[in-house]
Structure 1
Amino acid sequence: MKALTTRQQEVFDLIRDHIGQTGMPPTRAEIAQRLGFRSPNAAEEHLKALARKGVIEIVSGASRGIRLLVEEETGIPLVDPGMFKPSADFLLRVSGMSMKDIGILDGDLLAVHKTQDVRNGQVVVARIDDEVTVKRLKKQGNTVQLLPENSEFSPIVVDLREQNFSVEGLAVGVIRNGEWL
């Protein structure tokens, strides 16, 4: 690993601290705001430099797609790559209780394998326009139903001819939010 400049170390430390506090990496806009950059593009340039130096990986297609590749000298990896099959590419903090009946609760970290190769019945992270949701996928022709696992919530029906829809990844595991009952 090549030595980091002072500014690159600040960006790296911000990413590491943000993951430690929230369970997910910051967005480019959050990095820019916290470090006083004029735009998210400046943050992106620093991220590319960190990737070239081998300390992070940029996961394309995700606003929070930053993975740390180095360990603290006295620390351990944030998530053991062998912990989930297929491997988790990122963690997503769950907001809401729409999937509680299968054990995905508000505040949990959802381990996600970045792929668009998913089948009906699998639990996916889906993007509808600018909103992200975790639901069970059911695709029929030009319609996608995103099914909750909680009877208090209604399915989300997406007309693929009228709405922007994409699958961000496949849910591969859950890390409980750390609060004791």
Structure 2
Amino acid sequence: MNDKPKLTPRQQQIFELIQRAIARTGAPPTRAEIASELGFRSANAAEEHLQALARKGVIELVGGTSRGIRLKAGTLRTVNESRKKGADGAPASSGLLSSLSMTLPGLEQLALPLVGRVAAGSPILAQEMVERTYSVEASMFAKRPDYLLRVRGMSMKDAGILDGDLLAVARTREARNGQIVVARLGDEVTVKRFQRTAHGIELLPENPDFEPIVVSPDHPDFELEGLAVGLIRNDMLM
């Protein structure tokens, strides 16, 4: 019995758009962004397609946030496999998912350490910081992560990143404006949206209840730890 999700061309287009957004910025798009990208007249049309994707088990929708779209574990692998051949048995047309299947094979497993609280002055991947190691399908991510970070707090809730979620992080010392990053400020590690200005760096929350963090160019304790490249819920790895 074939239980792989069968997507319409429009649903597949939206699914790939979500993947591109996560690969580019670390967060899924808003309904308005999907509507604008695909030429819909309103965000309601995007919402209808997202609801259909959720019913098919491809994504999970989280209420109360404009970017509350999560990919479900194993989704990329199963959709990749269903697209390898068309209805007539011929190879399907190439696209984002088919290219991902070449660079990140669906059966490849990554051993990702889960980092909990980070002690002041300790490397983020110091052995004492690692709670455990998970085996995760590589095809869940457009960019290969190096570790998982347990999210603390709700400062990024409007980007769909909630307390207790596991953020997949690729180690880097560089970031572009708009990307979601993991940064160290003195004794704390924080997840925020990166913005470089003429006056320094701003770490922007995605929750109006939180204030931006302004980092001066000569701040001695600022360090960029990595980029967000995916998000999974803790119960996906149980």
* Class of the TM-score when normalised by the shorter of the 2 chains: 0.5 to 0.7
What is the aligned partner in structure 2 of residue 24 from structure 1? Answer: 115
TM-score, length of structure 1 as denominator length: 0.57
What is the aligned partner in structure 1 of residue 47 from structure 2? Answer: none
1:113-159 superposed Cα distances (whole Å, 9 cap, x missing partner)? 11122101100001112211000001113411100001111101111
Q: When the two structures are aligned, how many residues end up with a matched partner?
A: 119
Identity across aligned pairs (percent)?
51
1:14-54 superposed Cα distances (whole Å, 9 cap, x missing partner)? xx9xx6xxx43798x9xxxxxxxxxxxxxxxxxxxxxxxxx
Aligned ranges 1:1-181 → 2 under 5 Å? 23-24=114-115, 62-64=123-125, 78-178=135-235
Q: Mind listing any 5+ residue stretches in structure 1 that lack a counterpart?
A: 1-15, 30-60, 72-76
| Larger helix fraction of residues | 2
Q: In structure 2, the residue corresponding to 1:124 is in which secondary structure? A: strand
TM-score, length of structure 2 as denominator length: 0.44
Q: State how far apart, in whole Å, the 2-side matches of 1:101 and 1:26 are.
A: 23
Say whether the 8 Å CA contact 2:116–2:149 is kept in structure 1.
Answer: no
Per the TM alignment, residue 83 of structure 1 is displaced from its structure 2 partner at its CA by: 2.0
Say whether the 8 Å CA contact 2:172–2:224 is kept in structure 1.
Answer: yes
Q: State how far apart, in whole Å, the 2-side matches of 1:105 and 1:26 are.
A: 16
Q: Mind listing any 5+ residue stretches in structure 2 that lack a counterpart?
A: 1-110
What is the aligned partner in structure 1 of residue 35 from structure 2? Answer: none
The CA RMSD measured in Å over matched residues stands at: 2.9
Q: In structure 1, the residue corresponding to 2:234 is in which secondary structure? A: coil
